[in-house]
Each structure stands twice: as C-alpha cells, then as structure tokens.
Amino acid sequence: MSVHLFAGLRVRDFEAARPWYELVFGEPSFFPHATEAVWTLAEGRSVYIVEHPAGAGSSVVTIWVDDLDAHVAAIAARGLEPDERETYSNGARKAVYRDPDGNELEFAGAPAG
C-alpha cells in the first residue's frame, strides 16, 4: 500500500499567513488552489496551509527531524525563533513555533549528543 501524508494547518488569511510559513519551510512545493500552499518535506510527507477562517488556530503538527539543532538553526537563519523549547524526561526534545493564528508547528528530535 502506498501512503502519502498531508498534515494541514488552517489559517484565517492565506496571504497573511504564507510569509510566516515560508520562514519555516522556504518556498512552497505547489499550490492546489489560490488559498492553499503545500510543502513537500520528504517523499510521501507534506505539510500544507489552507485558508479556513472558522477553523484557524487549533491545529498542532509535530515533525520529527534527524538533527533538531540544525533544523532550528536553519529556521533562525530565515528570521524565526521557537516560541518554546521542551526536553522530556527521556531526553527527546522539541521546538514549538506558533503562527499568528495560534496553530502550533513543532519540530522534535532525539536527545542532544
């Protein structure tokens, strides 16, 4: 069975939200329609934003990356810092970003070192 995962985040205003997400992911991979953008993160794995004012601000998406520190540094180089950083009792870590609508986009990784 072939599976492609699309994780979506609803935003109030697509044109206002898009620049924030471009700081996180860079340029979108494609646009299904005028108020939706998709970023392909890896084969079969994508994140998208879509204008949906009534549902905006209640999404949570967590993405596990191989090198959390490098990933957070790359986003910081584009001008965005995490809103929170957490370390769990097992050493796993995550960086939490909140878009202007309140959606949470989290990047997680293995313990440091």
Average of pLDDT values for 48-67?
A: 96
- CA–CA dist 73, 110 (Å, integer): 16
Task: Please state, in angstroms and rounded to a whole number, the distance separating the CA atoms of residues 38 and 54.
Answer: 20
pLDDT band at 112 (very low <50, low <70, confident <90, very high): confident
Q: Residues of the chain with pLDDT > 70: what percent?
A: 100
Output the pLDDT for position 1.
Answer: 76
Which pLDDT band holds residue 89 (cuts at 50, 70, 90)?
very high
For the record, the structure tokens of 48 come out as 């998208």
State the residue for tokens 């998406």: 61
Q: What Rg, from alpha-carbon coordinates, does the chain have?
A: 14
Sorted by sequence, the CB contacts under 8 Å of residue 41 that are 6+ apart come out as 25, 47, 63
Short-list 33, 39, 45, CA closest to 75: 39
pTM for the full predicted model: 0.92
Which domains occur in the chain, in start order?
Answer: 5-109 (3.10.180.10)
